[in-house]
């Protein structure tokens, strides 16, 4: 795992925090942003017994993020700015959104990627109780803009 991944992971973990089980969060119980379902699948693939995501180790978090998000989003094949954008998007919004936003950015304009992500957040906020998350999502995106400028 390279330094860029470690930098991206530090950014993500600032926003994903520790254990949360918010009834309004569609992801359900999470720890460091890893859902219980993702953790269950990881443990099963490692031929390990199931356990509560509350007890996930930092090593497991790093390995899951690297294999299931960094590599699957092809961040290892991107410029540093797009790698961070894609990784954080994969974690926060799912792998499917990465391709959508890369296309919106024409694979070369980070600001268009950010604009597409912001528009999707605003779309999400129109439905049900998701509006309560909008300001946090926008704060994360503002911090992401600052972070990619450092790369």
pLDDT in tens, the chain (151 residues): 799 999 999 999 999 988 999 877 777 899 999 999 999 999 999 999 999 999 999 999 999 999 999 999 999 999 999 999 999 999 999 999 999 999 999 999 999 999 999 999 999 999 878 899 999 999 999 999 999 999 9
User: Token pair of 77, please?
Assistant: 């094949």
| Residue among 138, 87, 90, 85 at smallest CA distance from 107 | 85
The count of other CB atoms within 10 Å of the CB of residue 146 is 8
Superfamily of domain 3-149: Chitosanase, subunit A, domain 1 (1.20.141.10)
Residues 6+ apart with CB under 8 A from 129: 24
Contact by Cβ (8 Å): 33, 16: yes
Which residues make beta-bridge pairs with 34?
31
Q: Where are the beta strands (DSSP E) in 1-151?
A: 30-31, 34-35
Q: What is the pTM of this model?
A: 0.93
């Amino acid at each position: 795992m390279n330094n860029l991944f470690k930098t991206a992971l530090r950014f993500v973990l600032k926003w994903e925090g520790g254990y949360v089980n918010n009834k309004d969060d569609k992801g359900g119980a999470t720890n460091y942003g890893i859902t219980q379902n993702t953790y269950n699948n990881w443990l099963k693939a490692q031929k390990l017994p199931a356990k509560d995501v509350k007890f996930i180790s930092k090593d497991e978090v790093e390995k899951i993020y690297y294999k299931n998000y960094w590599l699957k989003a092809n961040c290892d094949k991107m410029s540093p700015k797009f790698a961070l954008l894609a990784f954080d998007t994969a974690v926060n919004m799912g792998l499917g959104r990465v391709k959508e936003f890369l296309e919106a950015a024409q694979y070369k304009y980070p600001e268009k990627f950010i604009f597409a992500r912001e528009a999707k957040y605003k779309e999400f906020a129109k439905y049900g109780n998701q509006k309560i998350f909008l300001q946090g999502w926008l704060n994360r995106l503002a911090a992401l803009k600052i972070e990619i400028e450092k790369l």
